[in-house]
Structure 1
Amino acid sequence: MSDDPAPGFVRVRLDLSYDGADFSGWARQRARRTVQGELESAISTVLRLGEPVELTVAGRTDAGVHARGQVAHVDLPGEVWAAEGEKLVRRLAGRLPWDVRVWRAAQAPAGFNARFSAIWRRYAYRIGDHPGGVDPLLRGHVLWHDRPVDVEAMNAAAKLLLGEHDFAAYCKKREGATTIRTLLDLHWDRTPEGIAVATVRADAFCHNMVRALVGALILVGDGHRPPGFPGEVLAGRVRHSAVNVVRPHGLTLEEVGYPADGLLAARNREARNRRTLPGCL
């Protein structure tokens, strides 16, 4: 099935960011405020379109999760894009609420799909473990943990999770959806201000995956569990009662990676195939 825009339409890539605190996640919902809902309404309004538009996003974030480097695409009438495209970012700045911004709008290369052409997504999760709490100016983006966490211990545990695995133990199951993912990077660093920051990069993520991984690693960091514990949970392929899905406000989608333009269409097709692990056909 072709993913090309309909005849007479142009595919436009949008690079955007948002503070997720007051949104019920990305995906449009009836009677709830969402990022997709705000953006689609704003685009239709500023371009004076007679019908609604529909956005496709690289990663559908949950309620309360932030994004600094989100990517979406929308198919617009060619004549509208030719006449109004250069003004779109500025016009959206005047129409969108303060907690969502579009930084770039450009015609996408052939074969581009914001979701299926992506080869990785990178998230950051931020934890403050100062006994006095979190800086009030950072409170909306940093989780406070009331015990010190050992970054080196968490890094030792994280190494055991890298690679392609069935992450069913760290995902909220969805009917018919695979939980096989390739975890490309998972490590912790301390900022000069003392914040522990997890960098988590994978080809894709299933529902709650990052927040559950962080929940397991915190148990290692504060001494409740040994470094091998998160790997044991992974191998079990079922949710573990000790692993909490940490709160969403510490999580930010930082960046989405795409292949070279000439490989976009092939990646688009490949990403739609259902995945299995070797020997699990």
Structure 2
Amino acid sequence: MTRIALGVQYIGTGWNGYQKQPARNTVQDRLEMALEKFACVPLHTTCAGRTDAGVHAIEQVVHFDTDLDRPAQSWVRGVNAFLPDSIVVRWAAEVAPDEDGQDFHARFSARSRTYHYVLYNHPNPSALLASRAGWVFRPLDVERMQAAAGHLLGTHDFSAFRASGCQANTPVKDMHEVSVRRHGDIIVFTLRASAFLHHMVRNIVGSLIYVGTGRNEPDWMRHVLESRSRDVAAPTFMPDGLYFARIEYDPKWQLPQEVSAPMPWL
């Protein structure tokens, strides 16, 4: 039995998130249909992190086990032949157990995860960025938002930014990086943490926007965090601009992960 890892990129518009659902209109459903058509046997995938409806992935990592002996590139080209344009396998790699006999796992082997939120900050919406970026028409102060973001760094209980239906075992996560950068009318929020709660990034972005518009002061973010109450934070922001960007793994797994950003502002 061989374990194969795939790097999968997708536009989440029109899909009901990554994870399988009874309605079957999910990225996992479509990816596994393509894998079965190529391999002629059902193959179950395990992903690094679930994404919601409308959320995109620059690089989702999945793994599956198979008895088939195929070159890595054949998994890329063969599976892509059965996928729609909005889902693409970017790379494939056979991942052998490490020297201790431990198997690679797309989710549990991850050291950290990175998300980008792309926001269009302009008085009028952009047709070209529809479904690919969030939009705020009020002017946003990046320096205020960055000051607020600093309160999130470190190990914290992120219950204030947790969706009610979140199934994570603990709300305590290690936040390694939160940055807010402006590129003209585009603002990019980058968050890197050990793991994320359901809706955590969108809830944080919504709260940072409250600070950026002047509705709240930067220190309000510390108050929200310490409250551990979802009612204190801002409403969940739209999914359109959220991108699952990267999963960090130990170099021992030798995965051919993405190194270049698909958009100039990332």
The answer to whether the superposition gives a TM-score over 0.5 is yes
- Alpha-carbon distance, 1:241 to partner: 4.8
Residues 122, 201 of structure 1: 8 Å contact kept: yes
Task: Please list, as runs of the form range in 1=range in 2, the aligned pairs for 1:111-122 lying within 5 A after superposition.
Answer: 111-122=103-114
Q: CA RMSD in A?
A: 1.8
- Alpha-carbon distance, 1:230 to partner: 1.4
Residues 122, 253 of structure 1: 8 Å contact kept: yes
So what's the TM-score if we normalise by structure 2?
0.89
Task: Please list, as runs of the form range in 1=range in 2, the aligned pairs for 1:1-281 lying within 5 A after superposition.
Answer: 9-49=1-41, 52-77=42-67, 80=68, 82-83=69-70, 85-110=72-97, 111-134=103-126, 136-173=127-164, 174=166, 177-191=169-183, 193-241=184-232, 243-261=234-252
Which stretches of structure 1, 4 residues or longer, exceed 6 Å deviation after superposition? Answer: none
Whole-angstrom CA distance in 2 between matches of 1:164 and 1:150: 26
**What are the superposed Cα offsets for residues 138-169 of structure 1, whole Å, 9 maximum, x if unpaired?**
22211111201100000000001111101011
User: Structure 1 residues 62 and 139, CA, compared in 2 at 3 Å: closer, same or farther?
Assistant: same
Identical pairs, percent: 39
- Alpha-carbon distance, 1:85 to partner: 4.5
Higher helix share: 1
**What are the superposed Cα offsets for residues 14-45 of structure 1, whole Å, 9 maximum, x if unpaired?**
00100001110010111230010011111011
So what's the TM-score if we normalise by structure 1?
0.85
Whole-angstrom CA distance in 2 between matches of 1:229 and 1:149: 16
User: Structure 1 residues 55 and 229, CA, compared in 2 at 3 Å: closer, same or farther?
Assistant: same
Consecutive unaligned residues in structure 2, runs of 5 or more: 98-102, 256-266
Whole-angstrom CA distance in 1 between matches of 2:66 and 2:19: 20
Consecutive unaligned residues in structure 1, runs of 5 or more: 1-8, 265-281
Whole-angstrom CA distance in 1 between matches of 2:214 and 2:31: 43
- Alpha-carbon distance, 1:175 to partner: 5.3
- Alpha-carbon distance, 1:220 to partner: 0.2
Alignment coverage as a number of residue pairs: 249
Whole-angstrom CA distance in 2 between matches of 1:70 and 1:176: 19
Residues 47, 84 of structure 1: 8 Å contact kept: no
2:13 aligned counterpart, secondary structure: helix
- Alpha-carbon distance, 1:263 to partner: 11
- Alpha-carbon distance, 1:73 to partner: 0.5
